[in-house]
Structure 1
């Protein structure tokens, strides 16, 4: 409810601004799989380290139309935190500033629907700096892949635990985990998992 209210207020405030078009309903056929590597811990405190996205069109993952933005380390971000996430200081040394990264993400994603594993967390990590820098949160429609997967498991395999880690869920869906410890690899894997779940759902409907 609160998110819906914020979206209405943001749409009103930014209707005639540079990003007013983001608040228009999307009428195309593409989705964007989103992945964020962050500093961990509570989402309300986590900071993004790498933002990645890849577009889907129909039953294809458009790996040639992808985005990976490494952010310059914020003040106080220590080397141990960076190494913990499979990165090195040199990986982020030439990273882009937060405002540039957010603009790059908005330009790439547009108003397309988002697909992500645990979408709420990804949005929480991104929306805080977005509101701080640009005055609004991502208004895009979204699909939480973790929730879709859990519903599938309850239907097909009720004896298995419904909540599974990302890599285990990919394995059960027969999807290879691309580029482990890579935000872009996670985004591509997410896109492939979404296509697999969509095919399963379509098959179930047709057989029913």
Structure 2
């Protein structure tokens, strides 16, 4: 009931009917894994500088159907963030605007559920862009891979502590470590974790 009410309110607030497709009923088996690199770690003020997404269909990661965008921020990139993702201001000086990036992402996403690692942060940044533009926030179902991993592991660990660091999860699931803190690499990594955790394999 609450989800239906929330959807109704969102649709009422939608400023651009071209994006009504975001609210269409979902009948597909496709999902979208995505990730962002940012100017810093504060979702209330920092900006996206790189965004990537990749489709998942029939338990396959479709690297041929991907989106990879570089965004020119309005403000400066935090030096501590540069040390992590190695993206400097000069690397995104020819990037598109955050508004264009967000709308292109929505066109790519459609009404598919979102998959990611610590999605809440990335979704907050996207919502901060699209809310002024469209009057809505992302209505998609969110699938947090660290939550799936936690649910599968907590009963197996007597002390009740589950290491949710990305590197630890990858090591435990025997998955390859792709280039971390690269938006496309991290999106693919989230997709790999999702598939490993949802294909009824023992972990």
The TM-score with structure 2 as length reference comes to 0.88
The 10-residue stretch of structure 1 (60-69 or 173-182) with the greater mean CA deviation from structure 2 = 173-182
Structure 2 residue aligned with 1:23? 23
Give the 5 Å matches for 1:184-203: 184-199=184-199, 202-203=200-201
Q: Tell me the distance in 2 between the aligned counterparts of 1:19 and 1:3.
A: 19
TM-aligned CA distance change 1:9 to 1:155, over 3 Å: same
Measured at CA, do residues 150 and 140 of structure 1 come closer, stay the same or move farther in structure 2, by a change above 3 Å? Answer: same
What is the aligned length? 201
Structure 1: gaps of 5 or more residues: none
Displacement after TM superposition at 1:88 (Å): 2.3
Aligned to 2:125, the other structure's residue is in SS state helix
Given that 1:15 and 1:23 are in contact with CA atoms closer than 8 Å, whether structure 2 keeps it comes out as no
* Distance in 2, Cα, partners of 1:135 & 1:158: 46
- Runs of at least 5 residues in structure 2 that lack an aligned partner in the other structure: none
Q: Which residue of 2 aligns with 1:77?
A: 76
CA–CA distance in structure 1, aligned partners of residues 2 and 42 of structure 2: 19
Query: Is the Cα contact below 8 Å between 1:177 and 1:185 reproduced in 2?
Result: no
For the residue of structure 2 that corresponds to 1:124, the secondary structure is helix
Q: Which residue of 1 aligns with 2:116?
A: 116
Indicate whether 1:167 and 2:180 are aligned: no
Cα drift, residue 170 of structure 1: 1.4
My pick for the range that moved more, 107-116 or 2-11, is: 2-11
Secondary structure at 1:18 match in 2: helix
Q: Distance in 1 between matches of 2:170 and 2:37?
A: 18
RMSD: 2.4
Pick closer, same or farther for the CA change 1:3–1:36 going to 2, 3 Å. Answer: farther
Give, in whole Å, the separation in 1 of the partners of 2:48 and 2:80.
Answer: 12
